[in-house]
C-alpha cells in the first residue's frame, strides 16, 4: 500500500521571519521584501528609459549606415542566435522549421535592429568625441566595485587589485571604452526629459496623424 504524505508549510509568523531571513518580525520581513521588489522595479524602469532615450537619439540622428555594414551586423546577430540556440540543444534546422522562415528571411528581419544598433553606436561615439570623455582610473574603480562579487573565499574582492590585473592582461582599454560609452549615455539621459505616464497618455489622445 502506497504511503500518503502531507506537505506542511511553515506558518508565516515572527518565528518564520527569524528563521528564514534573520528578521525580528513578519512585518519587518514583508517590508524588506517590498523594498527589494520596489528596487527591482525602479531599476527596470531606469533601464527601459535609458534604452528609449538612446533609441530616440538614434532615430533622430541624421546619418546613413552603409548597407554592407548593416548586412554584416545582421549576419552577426543571426550567428549569435544560432550559437545561443546550440547551447540549448536546438539545431539551426530545427529552429528554421519552428520559425517557418528561411535563413535569408531571418537575416532580413534582423536588418532593422542591426541598423538601429549601428546608429546608436554612432551617436554614443559622437558624444564621446564631442564631450571629450576620458574615464579616469577612479571611474574604472567605481564601476568595478559596483559589478564584482566576493572572491572564492567569500571575501569582498579588491577593485584596485582587479584593475591591476586588467592592466597587466591588456584588457584595461576595453573596460575604459565600455565606461566611456556608459558615461556618454548618462549624459544623454540627463539631457532627456522624462514625462509621467499621465502626460504620455494625454499626448497620445491629443495627437492625430499629420499634427
User: Using one digit for the tens of pLDDT, what is the confidence trace for 79-110?
Assistant: 999 999 999 999 999 999 999 999 999 999 99
pLDDT tens digits, 150-191 = 666 657 678 888 889 989 999 999 999 999 999 999 999 888
pLDDT band at 135 (very low <50, low <70, confident <90, very high): very high
Model pLDDT, residue 151: 61
Dihedrals phi, psi of 50, to nearest 5 degrees: -60, -40
Higher model confidence: residue 68 or residue 147?
A: 68
How many other CB atoms are found less than 10 A from the CB of residue 148? 13
Higher model confidence: residue 129 or residue 209?
A: 129
Higher model confidence: residue 39 or residue 7?
A: 39
The alpha-helical segments, DSSP class H, found in the chain are 14-21, 26-60, 67-87, 92-99, 103-131, 137-147, 159-169, 172-191, 197-206
Q: Please say if the pLDDT value at position 15 is more than 70.
A: no
In the chain, where the domains are located: 12-60, 63-131, 135-143+158-176
The structure's pTM equals: 0.66
Closest CA to 49 of 183, 180, 196: 196
Q: Please say if the pLDDT value at position 203 is more than 50.
A: no
Model pLDDT, residue 210: 43
**Would you state the torsion angle of the CA atoms of residues 197, 203, 207, 211, taken in this order, to the nearest 10 degrees?**
-130
Work out whether the CA dihedral 69, 182, 142, 33 comes out positive or negative. negative
- Cβ 125 vs Cβ 132: under 8 Å: no
Q: Is 88 in a helix, a strand, or coil?
A: coil
- Cβ 101 vs Cβ 92: under 8 Å: no
Amino acid at each position: 500500500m502506497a504511503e500518503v504524505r502531507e506537505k506542511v508549510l511553515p506558518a508565516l509568523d515572527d518565528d518564520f521571519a527569524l528563521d528564514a531571513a534573520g528578521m525580528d518580525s513578519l512585518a519587518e520581513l514583508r517590508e524588506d521584501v517590498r523594498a527589494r521588489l520596489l528596487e527591482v522595479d525602479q531599476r527596470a524602469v531606469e533601464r527601459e528609459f535609458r534604452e528609449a532615450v538612446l533609441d530616440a537619439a538614434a532615430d533622430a540622428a541624421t546619418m546613413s549606415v552603409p548597407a554592407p555594414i548593416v548586412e554584416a551586423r545582421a549576419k552577426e546577430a543571426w550567428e549569435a542566435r544560432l550559437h545561443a540556440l546550440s547551447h540549448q540543444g536546438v539545431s539551426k534546422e530545427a529552429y528554421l522549421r519552428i520559425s517557418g522562415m528561411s535563413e535569408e528571411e531571418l537575416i532580413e528581419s534582423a536588418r532593422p535592429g542591426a541598423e538601429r544598433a549601428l546608429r546608436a553606436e554612432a551617436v554614443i561615439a559622437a558624444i564621446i568625441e564631442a564631450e571629450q570623455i576620458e574615464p579616469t582610473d577612479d571611474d574604472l574603480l567605481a564601476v568595478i566595485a559596483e559589478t564584482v562579487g566576493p572572491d572564492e573565499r567569500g571575501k569582498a574582492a579588491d577593485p584596485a587589485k582587479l584593475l591591476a590585473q586588467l592592466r597587466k592582461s591588456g584588457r584595461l582599454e576595453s573596460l575604459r571604452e565600455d565606461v566611456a560609452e556608459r558615461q556618454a549615455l548618462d549624459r544623454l539621459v540627463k539631457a532627456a526629459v522624462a514625462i509621467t505616464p499621465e502626460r504620455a497618455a494625454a499626448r497620445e489622445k491629443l495627437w492625430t496623424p499629420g499634427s
